[in-house]
Structure 1
Amino acid sequence: LLGILIVVIGASFPASGADEQLQSNEITMEEVVVTGTRTAEEIKKVPANITVITRRDIETSNAKNVPDLLRTQEGIVVRDFLGNGKTVDVDLRGFGETASSNTLVLMDGRRVNAIDLSGVDWTQIPLEQIDRIEIVRGTGSVLYGDNAVGGVINIITKTPGKKPHAKVAVILGSYGRNKESVSFSGGQGKVAASLFATYDSTNGYRENNAFRAKDAGAKIVLDPSEILRFTLSGSYHSDQYGLPGYLSKAEVELDRQATNSPLDNAYTRDKYADLGMDLDLAGLGRVVADISYRKRDSETNWVSWLWTSETETKTKGFTPHYVWEGSLAGHENTFIAGVDLYWTDMDILTSSERVDKDSQGYYFNNALSLFENLILSVGARHERVEYEFDTTTADVKPVDRKEAYSAGLTYTYQGRSSLFVRANKSFRFPLTDELFSSFSGLNADLKPQEGKHYELGIRHYFSKKMYLTATLYRAAFDNEIFYNPLTFTNENHPETLHRGIEIGAKADPCRFFTCFANYTYEKATFEKEPFDGNDIPAVPKNRGNFGFNIHDFIPGVTLTAQYNYVGSSYAISDQANQHEKLESYYTIDSKIAYKWKNLEAFFGVNNITDEKYSQYVVAGWSGLVFYPSPERNWVAGINVRF
């Protein structure tokens, strides 16, 4: 009934202009990003391998969530525990099991990484509200501090416009999936606002794999003058889901959709508010500041283990920074300096314990044009972190400090093309779960992880509609943090080495055809005993993607397809490399969409070849255990804009 209503309403509104549609098919002339420098800058001027996933990329994909979008990008491995996007590792530059603590995830510049092992909750970010995703590969420790070791992913939500706009959408799919969403935006005078609400439900691929989520949020933009802007945003997310757990190899062969924990379940309640200010001081620079608050309640019920965990986490943030762009002795210069302050309090309600983590980061970055096409970038950061573990048996307050540095050269040529080289020093502080346990107390021997990074890259445009990127990198780490399954503790490994090459290409050779391809070779190894020479688990050496988009060859019709390959690797926690390697796997996904006036309908199939594989595999006491991934599945939907 709702689908019929959408069709009726949609047919009554005028179609979008053809010029706008054609423009969206072109490769952007000058892509501008904010994540690489914390201010708007052209990609070609930033000494890093950067990718922007645009709104059009999102709309033409078969993705159900943000990790589905990321898995098609070079240098990234995605491991989905549950197959529904709730609990996912997104790995930039080969950290395996600790990927979530070595990749920093931002939403509109606000940190969303947890202070404990729970990682990032990707389901709190509905695809419908995303404008673009910026991926900066390689360490961002100078600008962002803790966690930004392998790279930074910034999810940027839509900014409301003045013209009234609304959208209603319905999606159906395999495993009883249904999703409904509605959004509205508009404004008048100096104010613009947007609202959205979403309900997403699926029974899941496996038994006890159901997932139900509700989201609602709003954003208000106020421009009281030409030099001042305020942005107020907030959202509420709630979900409940089953925990099907792992299966042995024999159990997977017997029934890969089965579960050994039919009653295990969890729920989440997550809400945040953010107030941002952007003040233009004309020739004196700009002041940008954000104040944020987040409250997250979670409960996990391991009925099969007769254990429940319930936590309440509150995070407050204040992140002001100053930007000056001007001429320094006749040379263009951009200077940025800022402070990142975060206070996180976690109450473990089931054990009457409290865990706090407070951090203060002070940084600067300066980009000076030595010549018209040669830019020197240098930066530094000092960060202090203080923990407090208040338990029934102890009250300890460890404190640590670390510094990060960066230096890079960027040479621009032929319009949009550029070469870059950079060297960086990174750090990562231990997560609270890694540093302290109520059973064993403070892990006093655990040190912060430190790394030295070197990169050389090129972004070359063969024409306005075809480019190639290639990046060589090497990162050597002291005290990289790993979980030791033999001692049940987290430990530092003396030395590890990560090196590889990332290659990507995109072409728009004619009005109706776009294609992309990328390949990543990555080798991550232990460099000293007890695992000297062994591969770091869960880091495949070879990965690749290829895809194409045919649009408006038949008016209104868009066909997309993509191939995703992940090579073999050792299972998580198999530092000894004693188990057999996991087999490589590939998936092929495709989608066809038809747009008429303000109405769009689509149908897609994921894993067309019905590949049987597991993204997440762990080496346990009894051998390898598996979290099977979904087989062939379909999705269909209809939406209308008015």
Structure 2
Amino acid sequence: MRLTSIPALAAMILPLSPATAPGEEEEDELQPLVVEADRHSVLPEHFAGSATVIDREKIAKSGVRSVADLLATQGGIRLTNTSGNASDSTVHLRGFGENASSRVLVLIDGRPVNRPDMAGVSWLEAPVARLERVEILRGSQSARFGDNAVGGVINLVTRGGSTESTVLEGAGGSDGYTLARISHRSLIDGHGITFDAERNFTDGWRDNAFSELETAALRWDKQLADWIDADLGVSWADERGGFPGPLTKQRYLLDPRQSIYAQSGQAHLYFSEQTRWTADGTLTFGKAGGPTIEVPLSIYQRDLAWNFGPGYHTDNLLNTYTLSPRFGITGDSWSAEAGISLRRDTLELSQFAEIQRRNRTTDASLERDIAGIFAGAEWEPWKYWHLSTSARWEHSSVGADARSYRFPANPALNFARETDESNSAFQAGVRWEGARDVSAWLRYDRLYRLPSTDEIASYQGYPLTVPFNDRLRAETGDNVELGAEWTPGAWTLRVNGFAQWLEGEIAYDYLQNLNVNLADTRRLGLETTLGYQAGIWDAALHFTALQSEFRSGTYEGKEVYLVPNRELTATLGCRPKDWLSLQAEYQYVGDAFEGNDFQNTREKLPSYGVANFLVRYEPKPGLSLYCRINNLFDERYATVKYSGIWYPAAGRQVLIGIRREL
């Protein structure tokens, strides 16, 4: 294991203020208390459901590399990946295994960032230094947010407000890991300026699993008049990463760090590089307590070069445009909103026979348009009781045009087709807050999830039995939540039960070589959260028991593969001194049937338990040094397995960092 030192960055950060010995008192000027509004929050004040908020303090003290690590250690969310790098992970909520990234909606400041294809979100796209907090809403939210939200919603809220701040952070560690972050917020004559930049690199725990990111963002916000607020921003990211590939069981047990592509001398043909640009802005008209009109607009572009072995070298240009104006009004005991949502995705794809991209083999273009209307309301008809309801209707259309220059007569690779459909969703909830420390809720959801472009069309050189499956429809269903929370003093206890039924769940049928509305499914689960925070102790435990099975068709009664029945995440923090804090983390995931095991007869993906440890030393307020050890006991495990082929997860990794906040 090799460690990368960070003396240069430490030398830059440490002189920013004089050193103070542990326990030594110093005179600090008291800063005025500023109460900020919930900027870009999507969590209702009286949410009829189970939610987790990771606040700014927990983020600052987490010592994590990416948002994915933060979600796992602080949010109790299960991650899977095929490279061994957590930043490439897929998040799983509510018993979804394969293609879970299409069933969890990810927002940045309330704006969706999910891709129209099956590609997951890059968790390095929103650097940790940029975050104010993270909101996790578990359970279907289709009526409020539309597509992708059948398992839940994760909202990443970036920094803003009326507080000036500067954060500098650097870290180094095993596997060539280096990190440099800067985040700065200034207020100049009423103009709010926020700047963030980050460089994040690792050679990867596995061979050919390197990951490199450079990103920068700039935001401006200002109150243009008593009744007009503006918020505009641009961001850029350049990312590169390798593909280590799967291993047979024999290779996995012999050396999980190896890559079959590196072993064959072809690692240079298995990697991706992409550049992303985002521009977004919001104009808000109205005053607090009165009617408001909010007009958010965003433009996203991803230019991706994908290299997946000889003959599979693809350039993919994705453009996404979203516009979602909404009108809101608030009364003494009620609030309501309504609006429209518009989204357009365009993909231009070219495939080449060699990495030098001289001989073009395929051209394809896709367009997806989604237009809808939505409305929602919340009110308090009686004391202690809060009712909420939302409804949404959307129409979606997908068109694809693919041309193969190598096989121009093959109808599976040459087609021009389109399809469209309409869907609706509804949500109704009630929350009771009869005492200061007790609450309970009940919610019903009618939901849907649109098929992704990859599920419909075979346009990337991987022929499906039906090249454009216009018979594939959205999966629809129902969800019911029932839960309660008790917060006596320093304790928090939350229990939430749920049942979800999906009609025509979409899955890849390897026997047909086609994505189909395979069967109806049912998911039953119980989520429990226990927390304690007092004195020098801070502890939390999240446990989920889940049953996920097919309810119709050939596989009726069989469990859905890649879905464990048990998940547990626990953290224990201790601050014995004002300048020292320790934190232990543990995540356990039960066994699950491997990918494509519809009959539940093959060797399972084994259960695993991973422990992490973090120590922080704070010689003075705003300055901290930390050491994080992930997978403390060097557990050998895999989070994904298909048909006997394993994708190993990372072993022990050590990170040492320094953080300065002004």
Matched, 1:307 2:305: no
- One-letter amino acid of the structure 1 residue matched with residue 308 of structure 2: W
Cα deviation code 1:551-606 (max 9, x no counterpart): 2x312111111111111111122222121112111111111111123421111111
- One-letter amino acid of the structure 2 residue matched with residue 519 of structure 1: F
Contact 2:241-2:271 within 8 A present in 1 as well: yes
| Matched residues, number | 619
Q: For structure 1, list consecutive stretches of 5 or more residues without a partner in the other structure.
A: none
Cα deviation code 1:146-191 (max 9, x no counterpart): 111011111111115453x323221001101011122222112221
What is the CA-CA distance between 1:52 and the residue it aligns to? 0.3
Matched, 1:318 2:323: yes
Cα deviation code 1:470-498 (max 9, x no counterpart): 11000011000011122221111231001
What is the CA-CA distance between 1:36 and the residue it aligns to? 4.8
Aligned to 1:486: 511
Alignment of 1:264-279 (within 5 A): 264-279=270-285
- One-letter amino acid of the structure 2 residue matched with residue 625 of structure 1: I
Q: Point out the more displaced range, 65-74 or 415-424.
A: 65-74
Q: Provide the C-alpha distance between the structure 1 equivalents of 2:49 and 2:252, rounded to a whole number of angstroms.
A: 42
Q: Provide the C-alpha distance between the structure 2 equivalents of 1:538 and 1:34, rounded to a whole number of angstroms.
A: 34
Q: Provide the C-alpha distance between the structure 1 equivalents of 2:272 and 2:26, rounded to a whole number of angstroms.
A: 44
Change (3 A) 1:120 1:282: closer
Matched, 1:395 2:416: yes
Aligned to 1:637: 657
Q: Provide the C-alpha distance between the structure 2 equivalents of 1:214 and 1:66, rounded to a whole number of angstroms.
A: 15
Matched, 1:610 2:634: yes
- CA RMSD in angstroms comes to 2.3
Q: Provide the C-alpha distance between the structure 2 equivalents of 1:544 and 1:61, rounded to a whole number of angstroms.
A: 19
Matched, 1:496 2:503: no
Matched, 1:411 2:432: yes
Alignment of 1:355-504 (within 5 A): 355-392=366-403, 393-438=414-459, 439=463, 440-463=466-489, 465-504=490-529
Aligned to 1:193: 193
Helix, strand or coil at the partner of 1:462: coil
Helix, strand or coil at the partner of 2:487: strand
Aligned to 1:297: 303
Cα deviation code 1:173-215 (max 9, x no counterpart): 1101011122222112221111121111111001111111101
Q: Provide the C-alpha distance between the structure 1 equivalents of 2:82 and 2:162, rounded to a whole number of angstroms.
A: 38
Matched, 1:11 2:10: no
Q: Point out the more displaced range, 440-449 or 360-369.
A: 440-449
Contact 2:42-2:110 within 8 A present in 1 as well: no
Helix, strand or coil at the partner of 2:638: coil
What is the CA-CA distance between 1:509 and the residue it aligns to? 2.5
Aligned to 1:96: 97
Identity %, equivalent residues:
26
Contact 1:94-1:524 within 8 A present in 2 as well: yes
What is the CA-CA distance between 1:275 and the residue it aligns to? 0.5
Q: Provide the C-alpha distance between the structure 1 equivalents of 2:96 and 2:74, rounded to a whole number of angstroms.
A: 16
Alignment of 1:88-167 (within 5 A): 88-159=89-160, 161=162, 163=164, 165-167=165-167
Change (3 A) 1:36 1:459: farther
Contact 1:497-1:525 within 8 A present in 2 as well: yes
Contact 1:74-1:503 within 8 A present in 2 as well: no
Change (3 A) 1:18 1:557: farther
Cα deviation code 1:265-320 (max 9, x no counterpart): 111111101111222245641112211000001111122x4311210000111111
Q: Point out the more displaced range, 572-581 or 363-372.
A: 572-581
What is the CA-CA distance between 1:436 and the residue it aligns to? 1.2
Q: From 533, 545, 552, give the equivalent of 1:508.
A: 533
- One-letter amino acid of the structure 2 residue matched with residue 614 of structure 1: A
Matched, 1:584 2:633: no
Q: Provide the C-alpha distance between the structure 1 equivalents of 2:113 and 2:549, rounded to a whole number of angstroms.
A: 29
Aligned to 1:180: 180
Change (3 A) 1:281 1:33: closer
What is the CA-CA distance between 1:34 and the residue it aligns to? 6.1
Change (3 A) 1:396 1:15: farther
Helix, strand or coil at the partner of 2:454: helix
Cα deviation code 1:418-469 (max 9, x no counterpart): 2110111000111001011144421133121001111101122112x32111
What is the CA-CA distance between 1:20 and the residue it aligns to? 8.5
Q: What TM-score do you get using the length of structure 1 for normalisation?
A: 0.92
Contact 2:54-2:75 within 8 A present in 1 as well: no
Q: From 533, 549, 556, give the equivalent of 1:532.
A: 556
- One-letter amino acid of the structure 2 residue matched with residue 558 of structure 1: S
Q: Point out the more displaced range, 574-583 or 336-345.
A: 574-583
Q: Provide the C-alpha distance between the structure 1 equivalents of 2:329 and 2:28, rounded to a whole number of angstroms.
A: 39
Cα deviation code 1:360-407 (max 9, x no counterpart): 121111112120111221221101101111223332221110010111
Q: Provide the C-alpha distance between the structure 1 equivalents of 2:512 and 2:94, rounded to a whole number of angstroms.
A: 27
Aligned to 2:406: none
Q: Provide the C-alpha distance between the structure 1 equivalents of 2:232 and 2:16, rounded to a whole number of angstroms.
A: 31
Aligned to 1:554: 577
Q: Provide the C-alpha distance between the structure 2 equivalents of 1:545 and 1:240, rounded to a whole number of angstroms.
A: 31
Q: Provide the C-alpha distance between the structure 1 equivalents of 2:598 and 2:260, rounded to a whole number of angstroms.
A: 27
Change (3 A) 1:7 1:76: closer
Q: Provide the C-alpha distance between the structure 1 equivalents of 2:38 and 2:282, rounded to a whole number of angstroms.
A: 20
Cα deviation code 1:339-371 (max 9, x no counterpart): 111111110122221111110121111112120
- One-letter amino acid of the structure 1 residue matched with residue 123 of structure 2: W
Change (3 A) 1:62 1:641: closer
What is the CA-CA distance between 1:10 and the residue it aligns to? 3.5
Q: What TM-score do you get using the length of structure 2 for normalisation?
A: 0.90
What is the CA-CA distance between 1:33 and the residue it aligns to? 8.9
Q: From 625, 646, 661, give the equivalent of 1:626.
A: 646
Helix, strand or coil at the partner of 2:99: helix
Helix, strand or coil at the partner of 1:352: strand
Q: Provide the C-alpha distance between the structure 1 equivalents of 2:68 and 2:131, rounded to a whole number of angstroms.
A: 13
Contact 1:11-1:599 within 8 A present in 2 as well: no
Helix, strand or coil at the partner of 2:143: helix
Q: Provide the C-alpha distance between the structure 2 equivalents of 1:388 and 1:76, rounded to a whole number of angstroms.
A: 35
Q: Point out the more displaced range, 566-575 or 10-19.
A: 10-19
